Amino acid sequence: MRSIENIDIDKLDGLAARACELCRRQDGVKRCAACQAVYYCGRDCQAADREEHRMACKEIKRARRLYESEYERLRDMPSDFLTPESMFETQAGRFWGILETRPYMDARFGLVHSLLLHYGAIGGLVDVVQASLDHLLDMMRLCRSDDLDLRQIVPSLYVRLGRDQDAYDFVKWHAVTSTSPGYDYDDMSLPYLDVRDADVFESPHEAWLREGWMELSQVVAVTLIKVRLLLDLQAMRCADATLAGVFPAEIVDLIHRRLLNSALAGRTDVLFAGAAERARLLDKVRSQIGALYGAVDRYNKHFWPMLVNDVDSSEVQPLSDLYSPSTPVEAQLMITYSYTAWYETPGAICVLGWLDRLNYRPPLRRSDGDATTVRDETSPAAATAPGPSPDAIGSTVDPSGKPHARHGARFFSPSSVGSIADMTSSDDAAVMETTDAPPPSPPPKTAIERLHDWGSSSLPPSLLATLVTALHARPLQPLPLVLFTPPLLFASYLNLAGYPTGSAGLAAAWSGMYALLALRRRQSLRGKFSIRGLVRGAAVGLGTANAVAGGWVYFMGNFERDEEERLRRKRWTTKD
């Protein structure tokens, strides 16, 4: 996967069209028969590119063969009392709940991973991204409960393909369903992904702004869609300011159509709107971007700084599918799903840069329930609320007309700088000049915060279970193995299944009991410094830490809040 540092950002504008992988010729190309991912214009180019292509070709070919073999195995599997017949026809929508389907789903996801890793990175091949999206959507059709969390990856692929409206419809359906805990994913008669042509200018859904757990990558995708709306509306305003009165209105309208993405392509009300209406839409979208930006920042303070300043860290550091909410690990994983769409949108990172420089955290207004809504931009409170003026969001240059060193020079050509600079008022300039200093680094975590993080993690009890097994499996001591290892592993499972408070209490009780019982048996000084003694000491120390941290989380936890967050995560939703 190419890193951001190795890419010419100035030349980056979306995905690469189908062309020869070596000479970039677009006509008469043929697909590589082995990996079926890249194209060449002839044998000469294919031979010249063999060294560069060989490793990726082998990995994709291996992943494709595994997927095809698993497909054939599942298709031809004989039925019995546990295995339904013709599962692709009779069990579509219920995959993963049937154990025999899981190797197939894993193999198919492995193929998607290989395709995106080698040829679907930033500025990657449009055919690869389209094929990956097709695979993921079909996998979701086969497994409605989406146990592989494919819904986190799909929206950004839609955006990369220029299908903003489809991306918004996809995310909107999941937002509506996540707030409807009675939805049964095993009932094939219920509608599935049936939202069409939702209004992209509408206020953000409550699921994207709430204080608790959120589908981070989906909220980030909605933010990007809104940013792309903002950039399109600004481009239309620039075209009006530059071309109005110089070219006929019909020519200007044609230019407007070329500037719009899929979310606005069919919106004649926007295309033929007057200057006042477009200004109102600009203000509305800016307010919504600020609200979404603030919601993501409050949920995971690590995400935006990593995306804007340190995106390569998500590529070079090992990622885990197991993570706790609001942690750097979650931010890294979600960035791998979404960073390509942001960097392939010229100007999008620049908007985030301005929000970061202005420390934009718009105040939100509470409704009667738990729902958090965007402040009404027409209300007196919004007019007097602190923060930047609307034109400051999405602007890319300072009043002098120079692009900011951070991002402006990367995404904007000199011809666009002047027209966009004209949008920025003198009041905005005063705000911008006072915010050129880098944002302050976040304060270090307190001891209580670190204690809470330790007690809320699924790793400590499973680590203690590993140490207990190592100590008592050889020589075999059945009682400690039976008494401590299963409850500790079950505590880790409870944590991952959405019961952090109960998991913390269980881990605290069994960890503390193990530490107390282990300390009852005295050990010689020489034995303490043996390998077994060091492992025993580590187990006792870890058990003590788990007891203290888990006890804190248990006594400070809230079972009702845990249940609310489980219901928001649809993979744990159960029937009423």
- Our CA dihedral for 131, 135, 136, 141, rounded to 10 degrees, sits at 140
Is 289 in the same domain as 394? yes
Q: Which of 124, 148, 172 is the last residue of a domain?
A: 148
> Which residue segment(s) compose the domain that 53 sits in?
4-148
Distance CA 49, CA 47 (A): 5
Residue 500 inside a domain? The answer is: yes
Distance CA 125, CA 129 (A): 6
Distance CA 344, CA 327 (A): 26
Is 312 in the same domain as 344? yes
Is 465 in the same domain as 414? no
Is 262 in the same domain as 405? yes
At residue 525 the predicted structure's pLDDT band, cuts being 50, 70 and 90, is low
Over residues 87-99, the mean pLDDT reads: 92
Residue with more model confidence, 293 or 12: 293
Q: Which helix (H) or strand (E) holds 372?
A: strand 372-373
Residue 187 inside a domain? The answer is: no
Is 335 in the same domain as 467? no
Is 231 in the same domain as 115? no
Is 419 in the same domain as 481? no
Is 271 in the same domain as 387? yes
At residue 23, φ and ψ (nearest 5 deg) are -100, -5
**Number of domains within the chain:** 3
Over residues 69-81, the mean pLDDT reads: 91
- 494 Cβ contact partners less than 8 Å away, ≥ 6 residues apart: 500, 502, 503, 506
Residue 426 inside a domain? The answer is: yes
Length of the chain equals 576
Is 362 in the same domain as 230? yes
Is 428 in the same domain as 455? no
Residue 124 inside a domain? The answer is: yes
Count other Cβ atoms within 10 Å, centred on residue 8. Answer: 8
Residue 213 inside a domain? The answer is: no
Residue 169 inside a domain? The answer is: no
**Poorest-pLDDT segment among 91-105, 280-294, 419-433, 499-513:** 419-433
Tens of pLDDT along 529-544? 788 888 888 888 999 9
Is 464 in the same domain as 502? yes
What's the burial of 44, exposed, middle or buried (CB within 10 Å: 0-12/13-18/19+)? exposed
Quick check: 193 pLDDT over 90?
yes
Residue 479 inside a domain? The answer is: yes
Is 408 in the same domain as 524? no
Tens of pLDDT along 244-293? 666 676 676 667 666 666 677 767 777 777 778 888 999 999 999 999 99
Residue 156 inside a domain? The answer is: no
